[in-house]
Structure 1
């Protein structure tokens, strides 16, 4: 009795189209077509993720390049300052001035090493006393 009642009352005739099924009538597809669409969606999602991660890498690279560019600009300003100082003191050739500064820097480093050695010797001497 229950089965008959379910078939009569809950059975939807084939010629009746429910509102939620209108889309299926407009866009019919087979299981194979549906699977192909699902596969394409999955492939597009993977491509999107790959492109999103590539975008992140490129943004990080741009940030790094901006930092390097800022540092290079500081160095260029420093060299401009050195060039101006050299001009103010009568040295017009920057290369000669730079060589001169490098020689003085080397001498200062040597003097600093000597002072450090002497300081260590004095420190050891006082530690022994």
Structure 2
């Protein structure tokens, strides 16, 4: 289970309030989403920043980790920062994959915050569609 929050992990997990411009959640066998976020939802500044709870299951640890990675890659959320890239980084860590973690894991693995914030192709397309919808034109066209 992961709680996808509108927070900035690289900024001490401070809330990332704002309007969710694009929201697309993952689905599929063994994936469950519980939340109330939708495109146009405004993440409040002074309340809980949780957007959606992601739950997956697998018959083995590796199957669950793989399913979790697939589900995280299936999210498209634009307009606010989220904890998704941070979780994706955790899922790539050898200690996590080998189940070598305890309550000190985050503190003993500061490199988890060294992920790249790259916009995926689907996010670029979604952002462009949202901007054209909002502005009535492509603001990036020359």
Give TM class, smaller chain. under 0.3
Q: Larger helix proportion, structure 1 or 2?
A: 1
Q: Larger strand proportion, structure 1 or 2?
A: 2
Q: Which structure would you say has the larger RCO, counting Cα contacts within 8 Å and 6 or more residues apart? A: 2
Under a length normalisation based on structure 2, what TM-score does the superposition of the two structures give? Answer: 0.20
Larger CA Rg, structure 1 vs 2: 1
